Chains A and B, each alone.
Chain A
Amino acid sequence: MIPSRKARFVSALRTSLKTALETLREIFDESAYARFLNRTSMTSSTAAYAAFSRELEDAKARRPKCC
């Protein structure tokens, strides 16, 4: 069955919002933290975030911010 125009619009809107949220999560390093937890098999905690921050520190501090 071909989806109705409204259903396609709702689906496109949902995808757009999901992508926008994913973009924000990537820009704000939330996704990087989730990947870190996944990679190290840790659960979110003060210690885990401290370890993630240490790992991120080197990369982030070397990243120039454009003028």
Chain B
Amino acid sequence: MLHGMNKTLSILLWAAVACLGAAAVGVVAVHRGEPINALWLVVAAACCYAFGYRFYSKFIAAKILALDALRATPAERLENGRDYLVTNKWVVFGHHFAAIAGPGPLVGPVLAAQFGYLPGTLWVLAGAVFAGCVQDFVILLFSVRRDGKSLTEMAKEEIGRVGGFVAFGAVIAILVILLAVVALIVVNALRDSPWGTFTIAMTIPIALLMGLYLRRIRPGRVLEVSVLGFILVMLAIWGGQWVSQNPEIAPMFSWRAQTLAIVIMFYGFAASAMPVWLLLAPRDYLSTFVKLGTIGLLAIGILVMHPTLHMPALTRFVDGTGPVFAGKVFPFAFITIACGAISGFHSLISSGTTPKLIARETQTRMIGYGAMMAESLVAIMAIIAACVLQPGVYFAINSPAGIVGATPAAAAATISNWGFPVSAAEMQALAHAVGEQTLFNRTGGAPAFAVGMARIFSQSLGGERVMAIWYHFAVMFEALFILTVLDAGTRVARFMVQDALGHVYKPLGRTSWYPSILATSALIVAGWGYFLWQGVKDPLGGINSLWPLFGIANQLLATVALCVATTIIIKMHRAKYAAVTLVPLLWLVAVTFTASWHKIFDPSPRIGFLAQARILSAGPVNPAVARLIFNNHLDAVVTATLIVMVALVLFESARQWAGVLSGRQETRVKETSFVMTRLSEEQG
């Protein structure tokens, strides 16, 4: 009787969630003409995630993966107190979320907002529920069943050597392009900004101080030192205002883009070569502390203030003529937003530390699928932060001078002519309110996100009076954790290159041998530094070329991950359910192949690399133009190489599927044998 009542209540509750979700998505999708409230996006997202988690992830867990609570996980079987360790599921969830949440879900949705709020929102919701969460969940479970093996190892075992090689190549390509593009975002956020530059520069001595404090004064007190570091960073933000207003000191921190790019390259090299405990680890702690706090604060700010979205649902730029980046809504919206919908990079985390901490297989659903939902919600918040701005302001900040004109008057006139009114005086007042000299042409997404975030925060805490503090807090937050990605990424890439070179000449593989450390660090920094320099010198702002390249590389890794997942599902005799990973895989193939084709061969010089090179070749060729032509050819070659790699993995995977389905090939999956868990229910 009681059971029957509970069931009826549950059905009624989920029916209500479905109705509310449908209504919210309907309002978001259909509403035109007038601004809508941001809460519609939040409600639509909450209902979609709740439904996706309750029904879709449960279906995958039960029908395809057959999660087994009695099967001992590697954390239990191989427990060593170091990397393999049975850990509370909520602790693992927090750990996993902190590892997957980077600047991507903040920057991508801000850039894609040039199409309006609708394409980005729909892709983030559908992409996360049907693709991103599924990828993270299944890869996590498959890694758990293989003693916590990495994606590269699984690709090699399940698809063959080509799969492993491509996964390795994709990771290196993503790292190099990612590091260049995030460095470019920092450069664009900090150029000619003494306040921002001073604050970020101060985080280096603060991190060094934290390192020394941890090592010499209070060993192991990381939370304590992170709080101390946070207080010092807040003081640096406050001090930055004084610096920016001091006519003698301000010019010392007012740097051009080229200068900032060189400084960041030196920083990346130093961070890669220096001991981890001195700079990288304390900076990582500080960045994580600020990241978790700020994301929580932004969520509260949006819920409390529930701001109005001024950006229309769709803008005229869905036709591909957008100023932020060129290209039609399909496929470019889908490679611009990766991390909030599906990100190949997550598969590295799902097959890295996380599978070695999980106590029971059944927890992979909550951790893999659930943490990606939380990341997707961060992307929704970024869309809201960008779309609370008046469209004219958004385009004035995000459009490069090469498109809208170099002077404030010219830029304002161009943007107003597009139907998004903005004036030079309005932009000057806004720049003054946030403590900047100008906000025109600050491409890259970070400044627009910071202005949006400052607007939301200043409405709830402190009013317009403290908008400048909130703006610089937001810039510090983004730059801090972008630089953390930069130094950690340079180091990870260095280790990967050292591992590979160790096969050629053994000493090069020794991670403690200084000549090898310096040489490989220089090699990696030269790789991303080249693309960064190219972006800084690009008259179209750099983001136009580099962000799509990064998106393609990231989705390529997701393609590899989904190929691995589909292959394993077919080998598990669950071919009738393979669509769960096969459909997102085919979608990604369609997106990456179409985007790559456009980036290489599109006749528009703003989209196609070869078309731009041709146009440049037709005019007078001086050394600067010759370099631009070379860069366009290089970008075309990199894109083509990435796409050939996707094709190779697809071909190899399809061969495996055909072999298994026709019975020509053995179908044994390479997972570790079943061992009964010894954990009690409470321990799990």
Chain A residues within CB distance 8 Å of chain B? 19-20, 22-30, 32-36, 38-39, 44-46, 48-50, 52-53, 55-67
Contacts and interface: CB of A to CB of B under 8 A. Distances in A.
A12 to B, nearest CB: 13
A28 B277 CA distance: 13
Nearest to B349: A66
A55 B280 contact: no
B222 A29 contact: yes
A56 B682 CA distance: 29
Interface of B: 81-83, 85, 87-88, 90-91, 93-95, 98-104, 171, 174-175, 178, 182, 214-216, 219-223, 226, 275-277, 280-281, 284-285, 288-289, 292, 338-339, 343, 345-346, 348-349, 352-353, 484-485, 488-489, 491-492, 495, 511, 550, 554
Given A65-B99, A66-B343, A67-B550, 9 more contacts: A19-B90, A27-B98, A29-B281, A46-B215, A59-B82, A60-B280, A61-B495, A62-B492, A67-B182
B214 A26 contact: no
B518 to A, nearest CB: 15
Contact of B81 (A24, A26, A29, A39): A39
B104 A67 contact: yes
Contacts of B292: 27
B104 A66 contact: yes
Contacts of A49: 214-215, 219-220
A55 to B, nearest CB: 7
Nearest to A67: B104
11 contacts: A20-B94, A26-B87, A29-B285, A35-B85, A44-B220, A46-B219, A63-B488, A66-B339, A67-B104, A67-B182, A67-B554
Given A19-B88, A57-B277, A30 B223 contact: yes
Contacts of B276: 53, 56-57, 60-61
Label chain B's interface by main secondary structure: helix
Nearest to A28: B222
A64 B488 contact: yes
Contacts of A53: 215, 276-277, 281
B91 A26 contact: yes
A4 to B, nearest CB: 22
B215 A66 contact: no
B95 A26 contact: yes
Contacts of B284: 60, 65
A57 to B, nearest CB: 4
Contacts of B175: 64
Contact of A44 (B216, B219, B223): B219
The winner among A24, A53, A66 for most chain B CB atoms within 10 A is: A66
Contacts of A58: 511
A46 B280 CA distance: 19
Contacts of A24: 94, 223
A55 B352 CA distance: 17
Given A28-B288, A49-B219, A50-B215, A59 B91 contact: no
Contacts of A57: 275-277
A46 B212 CA distance: 10
A45 to B, nearest CB: 6
Nearest to A19: B90
Contacts of A22: 88, 90-91
A64 B91 contact: no
Contacts of B90: 19, 22-23
Nearest to B484: A65
A64 B174 CA distance: 11
Contacts of B226: 28
Given A23-B90, A26-B94, A61 B491 contact: yes
A61 to B, nearest CB: 5
B223 A65 contact: no
Contact of A66 (B100, B216, B280): B100
Contacts of A25: 223
Contacts of B95: 23, 26-27
Contacts of B178: 67
Nearest to B287: A65
A24 to B, nearest CB: 6
